[in-house]
Amino acid sequence: MTMMSLNRIHIPVVSDSRGSLAFIEQGGAVPFVPSSVWLASVPSRFDGCGAVVALRGSVTVGGSLTIGDPSEGVLFSDGCDIVVSSGGVALVVGADVSGGIGVPFAMKRVYYIWNVPSGRSRGDHVHLRQRSLLMAASGSFDLTTDDGSGSRLTRRLDVSSGAVAVDASQWRVIERCSADAVVLAVASTPYDPTDYLYDYEQFIEVQRGAVAPLSVS
């Protein structure tokens, strides 16, 4: 592989008092629609086109470029070899890289959350049409899902737990994040602010049929 096939990229990050969130989707950080997702903690080879991000620790890509922050990435167009630092975790998002984490829908966006302060939560909303797959890429956190019928389920997720599918119309809350937690999410839609509902009481009314379901254009 030549240096010309590797390019540093900036991953868009939104940070506030609840921590940091970065996202990868076509037209944002990468020029392709994500089609596969991998997590790597050992030296690995990936073919095709994709992007590498260091979720924890540092990652050396192609023997020449080293990244060490979740806001940094490397775009590769003709395959690449990666070496992950001890205790580190690399995220690889592929355009035509087969395999990886099994996703039960066509993905359109990948995002990840880290540096969530103790006592703070993420989520606290419902998507009207987006399906999601959530997992712990590092550390651990509590994921609570609520379908509005009085059935609320809380699960403690860590790196050995696997991924949890969260359907549209399921309220979700992420909390009790460990200091080293990185929440990884795969989504079935590009980012769309009209797809979010943040009012829990309105969500309950919609689920119970007290008000007409909200529509998304």
Contact indicator for 72, 29 with CB cutoff of 8 Å: no
Do the bridges between strand 72-76 and strand 6-10 make them parallel or antiparallel, or are there none, so unpaired? Answer: antiparallel
The domains located in the chain, with CATH, are: 3-208 (2.60.120.10)
Query: Residue-wise pLDDT tens for the chain (217 aa)?
Result: 344 489 999 999 999 999 999 999 999 999 999 999 999 999 999 989 999 999 999 999 999 999 999 999 999 999 999 999 999 999 999 997 667 899 999 999 999 999 999 999 999 999 999 999 999 999 999 999 999 988 899 999 999 999 999 999 999 999 999 999 999 999 999 999 999 999 999 999 888 875 555 554 3
Beta strands in 41-131 (DSSP E): 44-46, 50-56, 59-61, 65-67, 72-76, 80-84, 89-94, 109-114, 122-127
Write down the pTM of the prediction: 0.92
